[in-house]
Chain A
């Protein structure tokens, strides 16, 4: 028992040591979400719809994020922490359901950046006025006024090395930004 207490104490002290970080992303309960965000979303989805809530802080912005499945699509909706107003909607696109024309344009963009590449995930992101974002969720019809961009996760070789990348593309699938995603160490799986 003494050994067990010592171990838990050791683990807790490691935890305190590791708290020095700028990014926070944690799962939260419904009761900890601003009532306005819940009310706006549940008015569309219905009170019993399953929604997972998260709180995120990255030094620049603080948001509440709702994740849910709606008409077979995976949605991720952000609300500003300050006023609980909706700020963007992300919908994950199914790779096998993309139009051939769209895929061709996407590959053209990726081929200009990478020697070879493989798409792992693609999300369509909408930005605009709160009422238009809520209308998008409600009707699944995209209001013309919304800004659109794509977030693409790709395994690619940029000429120097093969790595995992996140690309932000504009509406016309032209690159806005690119960053390498650090692949976490897998030593706990290997040994």
Chain B
């Protein structure tokens, strides 16, 4: 547990010092349903609530967008799977966006921890902006905090780093996302995670932008 608070402190310190900052809340819920031994259906609902930026320095949570994602997932091995997904994004002022998603993910099991890898590509289409394509890779570590393996009712630490390359004519961009979460493994059908996601984007432009999101996630299998 002390590792988690140390990491939390590091993330907060870095971000407080950062310029060009936006922060807020990012609650989400992931619902999955096993169709058979090979296929699974997954829905993810996520909303974003920007609450603070370094320009006006006022705390004022405001709804920005709501995403509904649906995936069909197929096992390709004992520890790997491919997924195809679609996302509908609802933004303020009745603006919408559609996204198609393709991903391949696999997990490495070690005695004490697991590392999950995710390769993803997506394409976003909307009326008010040009199409965007992205290629992403994420590595996520899950480390039990109360023993050598993760058992029911125990806490874990999850740390992840994701690199996102995107292109929307005429510009390309690179973004990095670091997430430090404290998780609770209630059982294999219920996991709750909370923590911070720190995004650094527009690496290819003169001034990078920082985003810090307070994340609350619930993974529920039906």
Which A residues are closer than 8 A to B by beta carbons? 3-4, 7-8, 10-11, 14-15, 17-21, 23-27, 52, 54, 67, 155, 161-164, 182-191
Contact = CB atoms under 8 A, between A and B. Distances in A.
Contact of A189 (B71, B107, B192): B107
A-B pairs with the 5 shortest C-beta distances?
A: A189-B116, A18-B153, A18-B186, A26-B147, A25-B147
Nearest to A1: B59
Interface of B: 25, 30, 32, 37, 42, 44, 69, 71, 73, 78-79, 81, 83, 103, 105, 107, 114, 116-118, 140, 142, 146-155, 158, 182-194, 214, 216, 219, 221
A190 B81 contact: yes
A15 B117 CA distance: 28
Nearest to B160: A189
B105 A25 contact: no
A18 B188 CA distance: 11
Given A14-B184, A14-B192, A186 B105 contact: yes
12 contacts: A7-B194, A10-B192, A14-B184, A14-B186, A15-B155, A15-B184, A21-B153, A26-B154, A186-B105, A188-B158, A189-B142, A191-B219
Contacts of A163: 78
Contacts of B214: 3-4
Contacts of B147: 25-27, 54
A155 B80 CA distance: 14
Given A185-B221, A187-B32, A21 B152 contact: yes
A11 B148 contact: no
Residue among A164, A183, A184 with the highest chain B CB neighbour number at 10 A: A184
A27 B148 contact: yes
Nearest to A4: B214
A188 B183 contact: yes
Contact of B151 (A8, A21, A164, A190): A21
Contacts of B189: 185
Contacts of B151: 21, 23-25
Interface residues of chain A: helix, strand, loop or mixed (majority): mixed
Contacts of B185: 18
Given A18-B187, A155-B78, A184-B188, A190 B146 contact: no
Contacts of A7: 194, 216
Nearest to B69: A191
Contact of A191 (B71, B150, B158, B194): B71
B153 A191 contact: no
A140 B91 CA distance: 67
B142 A26 contact: no
Nearest to B32: A187
Contacts of B73: 190
A10 B30 CA distance: 17
Contact of B192 (A11, A19, A24, A52): A11
Nearest to B80: A186
A162 B153 contact: no
A189 B78 contact: no
A121 to B, nearest CB: 8
B146 A26 contact: yes
Contact of B116 (A26, A183, A190): A190
Contacts of A19: 153
